């Protein structure tokens, strides 16, 4: 090899990307049931946050997605900002086994999150209570928890979901035996609607990691339990957050909720260009900036 070729080879050489380290895994007991909790914790964190996944997929694909050459892990991005990030797999999701009944319910999910919040607080005793960030169906769970146990939460972010001032869901009879339907690649792709903000590599990574984590669809019942949710009972500082292009949002309902909420500290943020999965799209850094600024705002001590 002549000198020019050697110099060209040196200039064009790039180090191989290091394999992403896995998050820490913990088990938290909730009424005798083991819950998988994932964590990325920086040295001397300034804040803690608990993430609640959506309806179909568990915490790691939703909040710790690994994409070669791209930064899409919400948990790692929080850790890089000095925030201890925790994420729970609800019953029947990820590495948390199904409830013995085969189903989870709104009340059961809320009680499980409360158990994890108490555990997170025990891990970070010098910090204020954790913030709670729920995505899509996880935002409904977060709202439920913040209404039931406001002292355990510093801030709540309702992401990818527009709450209503009150709920009136009808009770339906579930099957006697919980189904075990397989999740599909099409279902994994369904949250990525706008190609302009979602590189194909992200979609491929999500499909692979989501199906590996959640091959079986988790089952819910007793969703009329959401009927206890009321805007005028939410006193925790909260933010409603969604993408501009998210087809599932109801702007009028969000505005009505904002007007009726009991909390004095409230924010409503729309992420320009973002879709339903803003945290995984090219809007990842915008999402992280908005959420970090909100959950690190000082709160009034009572």
User: pLDDT, tens digit, for every residue of 191-214?
Assistant: 898 889 999 999 999 999 999 999
3-state secondary structure of 88: strand
List pLDDT tens digits, range 146-187. Answer: 999 999 999 999 999 989 888 888 888 888 899 999 999 999
Euclidean distance between CA atoms 104 and 102, whole angstroms: 7
List pLDDT tens digits, range 257-278. Answer: 999 999 999 999 999 999 999 9
In a domain, 5, yes or no: no
Average pLDDT of every residue of the chain: 92
Residue 166: predicted pLDDT: 87
How far are the Cα atoms of 7, 11, 15, 100, 182 from residue 3, in angstroms, in the given order?
Answer: 6, 12, 21, 69, 58
Q: Is the pLDDT of residue 5 over 50?
A: no
pLDDT above 70: percentage of residues in the chain:
92
Nearest to 159 by CA among 139, 130, 137, 132: 139
Q: Is the pLDDT of residue 17 over 50?
A: no
Residue 302: predicted pLDDT: 53
**CB-CB contact of 101 with 110 (8 Å):** no
Residue 182: predicted pLDDT: 98
Q: How confident is the model at residue 24 (pLDDT cuts 50, 70, 90)?
A: very high
In a domain, 36, yes or no: yes
Q: Which ranges in 49-175 belong to alpha helices (H)? A: 59-63, 74-80, 106-123, 137-148
pLDDT above 90: percentage of residues in the chain:
84
Q: Quote the number of domains for the chain.
A: 1
Give the range among 13-22, 23-32, 59-68, 150-159 with minimum mean pLDDT: 13-22
In a domain, 280, yes or no: yes
List pLDDT tens digits, range 228-249. Answer: 999 999 999 999 999 999 999 9
Q: Is the pLDDT of residue 47 over 70?
A: yes
Query: How many residues make up the chain in this entry?
Result: 302
Q: Is the pLDDT of residue 11 over 80?
A: no
Residue 261: predicted pLDDT: 96
Q: Say which CATH number the domain at 267 has.
A: 3.40.50.1820
Domain containing 225: what range?
Answer: 21-295
**CB-CB contact of 36 with 52 (8 Å):** no
Nearest to 185 by CA among 202, 167, 206, 164: 206
Residue 169: predicted pLDDT: 84
> In which element (H, E) is residue 167 found?
none
Q: Is the pLDDT of residue 296 over 80?
A: yes
Q: How confident is the model at residue 9 (pLDDT cuts 50, 70, 90)?
A: very low
pTM (two decimals): 0.92
In a domain, 45, yes or no: yes
């Amino acid at each position: 090899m002549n000198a020019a070729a050697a110099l060209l080879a040196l200039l064009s050489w790039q180090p191989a990307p290091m394999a992403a380290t896995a998050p820490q895994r913990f088990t938290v007991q909730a009424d005798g049931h083991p819950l998988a909790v994932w964590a990325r914790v920086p040295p001397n964190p300034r804040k803690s946050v608990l993430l609640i996944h959506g309806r179909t997929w568990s915490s790691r694909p939703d909040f710790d997605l690994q994409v070669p050459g791209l930064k899409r892990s919400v948990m790692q991005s929080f850790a890089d900002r000095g925030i201890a990030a925790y994420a729970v797999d609800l019953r029947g999701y990820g590495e948390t086994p199904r409830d013995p009944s085969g189903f989870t319910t709104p009340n059961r999910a809320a009680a499980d999150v409360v158990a994890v919040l108490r555990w997170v607080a025990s891990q970070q005793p010098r910090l204020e209570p954790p913030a709670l960030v729920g995505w899509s169906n996880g935002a409904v769970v977060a709202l439920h928890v913040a209404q039931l146990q406001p002292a355990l939460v510093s801030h709540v972010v309702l992401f990818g979901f527009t709450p209503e001032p009150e709920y009136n869901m009808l009770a339906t009879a579930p099957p006697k035996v919980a189904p075990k339907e397989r999740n599909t690649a099409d279902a994994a792709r369904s949250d990525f609607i706008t190609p302009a903000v979602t590189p194909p590599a992200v979609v491929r990574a999500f499909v692979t990691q989501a199906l590996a984590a959640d091959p079986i669809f988790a089952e819910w019942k007793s969703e009329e339990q959401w009927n206890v949710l009321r805007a005028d009972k939410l006193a925790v500082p909260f933010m409603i957050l969604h993408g501009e292009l998210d087809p599932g949002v109801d702007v009028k309902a969000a505005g009505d909720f904002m007007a009726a909420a009991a909390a004095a500290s409230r924010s409503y943020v729309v992420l320009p260009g973002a879709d339903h999965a803003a945290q995984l799209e090219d809007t990842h850094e915008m999402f992280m900036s908005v959420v970090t600024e909100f959950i690190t705002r000082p709160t009034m001590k009572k």
